[in-house]
C-alpha cells in the first residue's frame, strides 16, 4: 500500500526564490593574468576560516584554458565546458612557511528552507611544476563548504598525465546539503588527499573545476515492501532508510528500521527536507500450530496416540508416515512436521515405565530377640503395609504375616511373608565395647561374637558380620565363623584395607547368620565403642 504526501514552501517567482543556481556555471571569463577569475565569482580570501593560505597572494585561483596562463609550470588545460575553467593550487613551500590554498565562491539566493539540494560539478587533476615541491602528485579532490560548514570532500580523481598536459579527464562529482536559509555562500577549495602533514600539501597539487550547477534533490521513492504473509517465528525488518531524513512509525519509534514479528498494519512517515512521504504494509502471520505436548512416560503394555491434526495441512512423522496421528507403544523420540504454506515441527520424548516388582523373601523363622527388616524400596511408588504404615521398610520382631502394597502410575502390586519367632538353640551376643591395645590375648583386646550358652559358635553354619565407621565406610568384615569366633578370630581395630589403627569412637555393626538347623538370624545391627 503506497501513499506520498508532500509539503512545499511557496515563494513568489518575482523574488527569484525558486530558480536558485550559480551565475556563470561554466566559469567563463577572460584570462588577463594569474589573478583572473570567472565572471561573477570571487576568490576565497586568505582570511576565510576555511582557507589555509598564509597571504592574499597565495589565495588567488587562476582562470585557465589550453593556452595558459602558465603552460611552462602546468597551469594549462582543456575546459570541460565553455571557454575557460578554474584551477586552484593546494601546496606549501619546502619549509611549510608559505601555504597556497586557492578557491572560489559565490553567494546564491532562492533556496527553499528545509529542502535538500545537490551541488554538481566536474573536477580534474591539473598538477603544477615547482622547484619547491614534487610535481608528480597525481590525486586530489575538492572540499565544498556551505557558508562556513564543510558539507563534504569529493571522491578523489587520478591523473597519470604530465604536469604540462593540455588534455585530461574530467570526473563528475556531487554533494548534497540541506538549505537552512534562503541565501547561502558556496565555497570550493582544492584538497590534497595525500598531504604529508595535516592539511599542508607538499605535493604541489593543482585541481581543476568546471560546469558547477545546483539542483533540488528529487523526492526519493519510499518502499517498505508489499503486503505479505509470513510463517511463525520469522522476523521481518522494514527498512525506510533515506539519507538526511527523520522517521516516524505507527508505534512512535523514530529509527530508520522496524522489526515485525506479529500480524498487523505498519506504516512510516519520512520527513525529507520540506516533504513528507509515507508508506504502509500489511503483515499477516500463519496460525499453523503444532504441539505434541510435554515429554511424558508410558507404562509397559500401554499405548499413546500423538495428534498433530491441523486444517488443510500435510504431515511427516519420524518414520515417514503421513497420517495426522501416530500411535506410540514403546519408549523413544517422536517428531512430526506439519505443513501448509508454512512448516512447523515438534518433538516429544516418551520414556518407558515398568510395573514395579517386589520380593519380601521366603517365609522364615526368626530367633527371639532378633529383628528382621523387610525392604520394599524402589522408585516412583507409594507404600502401604498391613498396619497402614507407608515407609519403604518394615521392622519385624514378632511372628505374623506381613504384607506390603506398592502403587505407581502404572498400577498396584503386593507381596507377603510369614515370619515365625522361636527360641533358638544359639543366641548370639555382640559386646558394646572393646579395647584393641595389642597387649596379649584377652577377651577385650578384640571384638568377638559370643553364644550366650557358652562362648561357642558351633551352632552357626553361615555368618556375615560387618563394621562401619560414622561415615558409613566399611572398616571390617567377617564372612565365616573362624574370622569372628573367640579366641582365634575377632576384629583387632585395624582398617580392613589400609591396616591402620582406627580412631577411638562408636562404630556400627551389622550381622546376618544361619544356624545349622536352617534358622536365619538377622539382619540385626548395633553399636560398639572402640576404646584405647
Where do the structural domains in the chain lie, given as residue ranges? 13-216, 228-282, 296-353, 364-422, 428-530
| Residue 256: closest CA among 229, 233, 279 | 279
Give 19-62 pLDDT, tens digit per residue: 479 999 999 999 998 889 999 999 999 999 999 999 999 999 99
Q: Which CATH superfamily is domain 296-353 in?
A: Immunoglobulins (2.60.40.10)
Mean of pLDDT values over 60-69: 95
Q: Select the CATH number that applies to the domain covering 364-422 from these four: 3.40.50.300, 3.30.1330.60, 3.90.1150.10, 2.60.40.10.
A: 2.60.40.10
Q: Is the pLDDT of residue 198 over 50?
A: no
| Residue 168: closest CA among 132, 214, 134, 210 | 210
Q: Does the domain formed by 428-530 have CATH 2.20.28? A: no
Q: Which of 45-54, 241-250, 514-523 is predicted least confidently?
A: 514-523
Q: Which of 8-17, 72-81, 241-250, 474-483 is predicted least confidently?
A: 8-17
Q: Which of 118-127, 201-210, 329-338 is predicted least confidently?
A: 201-210
Q: Does the domain formed by 13-216 have CATH 1.10.3720.10? A: no
| Residue 92: closest CA among 168, 240, 202, 18 | 202
Q: Which of 89-98, 214-223, 321-330 is predicted least confidently?
A: 89-98
Are the CB atoms for 531 and 510 separated by under 8 Å?
Answer: no
| CA–CA dist 500, 436 (Å, integer) | 12
Mean of pLDDT values over 128-152: 88
What is the chain's alpha carbon radius of gyration, rounded to the nearest angstrom? 51
| CA–CA dist 250, 269 (Å, integer) | 9
- How much is the pLDDT for 423? 63
| Residue 386: count of CB within 10 angstroms of its CB | 13
- How much is the pLDDT for 343? 85
Q: Do domains 13-216 and 364-422 have the same CATH topology?
A: no
According to DSSP, the β-strands at 139-146 and 428-429 are: unpaired
**328 CB-near residues (< 8 Å, 6+ apart):** 298, 303, 304, 305, 306, 334, 350
Higher pLDDT pick, 235 / 420: 235
Most confidently modeled range among 201-210, 406-415, 485-494: 406-415
- Can you read off the three cell numbers belonging to residue 295? 515429554
- How much is the pLDDT for 8? 34
According to DSSP, the β-strands at 433-434 and 520-530 are: parallel
Q: Is the pLDDT of residue 126 over 90?
A: yes
- How much is the pLDDT for 9? 32
pTM, two decimals, is 0.47
| Residue 347: count of CB within 10 angstroms of its CB | 11
Amino acid at each position: 500500500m503506497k501513499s506520498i504526501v508532500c509539503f512545499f514552501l511557496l515563494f513568489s517567482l518575482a523574488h527569484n526564490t525558486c530558480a536558485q543556481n550559480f551565475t556563470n556555471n561554466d566559469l567563463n571569463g577572460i584570462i588577463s593574468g594569474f589573478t583572473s577569475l570567472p565572471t561573477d565569482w570571487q576568490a576565497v580570501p586568505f582570511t576565510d576560516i576555511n582557507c589555509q593560505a598564509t597571504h592574499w597572494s597565495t589565495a588567488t585561483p587562476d582562470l585557465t584554458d589550453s593556452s595558459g596562463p602558465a603552460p611552462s609550470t602546468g597551469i594549462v588545460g582543456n575546459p570541460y565546458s565553455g571557454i575557460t575553467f578554474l584551477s586552484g593550487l593546494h601546496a606549501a613551500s619546502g619549509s611549510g612557511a608559505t601555504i597556497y590554498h586557492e578557491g572560489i565562491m559565490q553567494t546564491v539566493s532562492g533556496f527553499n528552507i528545509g529542502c535538500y539540494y545537490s551541488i554538481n560539478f566536474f573536477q580534474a587533476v591539473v598538477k603544477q611544476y615547482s622547484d619547491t615541491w614534487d610535481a608528480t602528485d597525481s590525486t586530489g579532490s575538492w572540499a565544498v563548504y556551505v557558508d562556513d560548514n564543510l558539507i563534504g570532500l569529493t571522491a578523489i580523481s587520478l591523473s597519470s598525465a604530465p604536469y604540462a598536459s593540455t588534455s585530461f579527464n574530467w570526473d563528475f562529482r556531487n554533494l548534497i546539503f540541506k538549505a537552512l536559509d534562503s541565501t547561502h555562500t558556496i565555497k570550493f577549495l582544492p584538497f590534497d588527499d595525500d598531504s604529508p602533514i595535516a592539511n599542508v600539501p607538499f605535493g604541489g597539487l593543482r585541481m581543476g573545476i568546471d560546469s558547477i550547477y545546483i539542483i533540488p534533490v528529487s523526492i526519493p521513492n519510499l518502499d517498505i515492501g508489499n503486503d505479505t504473509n509470513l510463517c511463525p517465528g520469522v522476523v521481518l525488518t522494514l527498512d525506510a532508510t533515506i539519507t538526511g531524513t527523520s522517521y516516524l512509525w505507527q508505534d512512535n519509534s523514530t529509527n530508520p528500521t522496524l522489526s515485525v514479528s506479529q500480524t498487523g498494519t505498519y506504516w512510516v512517515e519520512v520527513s525529507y527536507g520540506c516533504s513528507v512521504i509515507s508508506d504502509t504494509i500489511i503483515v499477516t502471520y500463519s496460525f499453523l500450530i503444532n504441539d505434541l505436548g510435554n515429554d511424558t512416560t508410558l507404562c509397559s503394555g500401554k499405548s499413546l496416540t500423538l495428534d498433530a491434526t491441523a486444517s488443510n495441512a500435510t504431515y511427516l512423522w519420524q518414520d515417514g508416515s503421513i497420517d495426522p496421528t501416530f500411535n506410540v507403544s514403546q519408549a523413544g523420540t517422536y517428531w512430526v512436521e506439519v505443513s501448509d504454506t508454512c512448516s512447523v515441527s515438534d518433538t516429544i520424548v516418551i520414556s518407558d515405565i515398568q510395573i514395579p516388582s517386589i520380593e519380601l523373601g521366603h517365609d522364615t523363622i526368626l530367633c527371639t530377640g532378633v529383628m528382621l527388616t523387610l525392604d520394599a524400596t524402589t522408585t516412583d511408588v507409594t507404600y502401604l503395609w498391613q498396619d497402614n504404615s507407608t515407609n519403604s521398610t518394615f521392622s519385624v520382631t514378632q511372628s505374623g504375616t506381613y504384607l506390603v502394597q506398592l502403587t505407581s502410575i502404572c498400577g498396584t502390586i503386593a507381596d507377603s511373608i510369614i515370619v515365625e519367632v522361636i527360641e533358638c538353640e544359639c543366641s548370639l551376643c555382640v559386646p558394646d565395647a572393646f579395647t584393641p591395645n595389642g597387649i596379649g590375648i584377652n577377651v577385650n583386646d578384640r571384638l568377638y561374637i559370643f553364644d550366650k550358652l557358652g562362648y561357642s559358635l558351633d551352632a552357626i553354619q553361615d555368618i556375615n558380620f560387618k563394621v562401619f565407621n560414622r561415615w558409613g565406610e566399611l572398616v571390617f568384615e567377617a564372612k565365616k565363623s573362624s574370622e569372628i569366633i573367640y579366641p582365634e578370630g575377632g576384629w583387632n581395630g585395624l582398617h580392613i584395607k589400609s591396616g591402620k589403627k582406627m580412631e577411638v569412637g562408636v562404630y556400627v555393626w551389622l550381622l546376618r547368620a544361619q544356624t545349622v538347623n536352617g534358622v536365619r538370624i538377622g539382619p540385626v545391627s548395633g553399636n560398639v565403642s572402640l576404646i584405647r
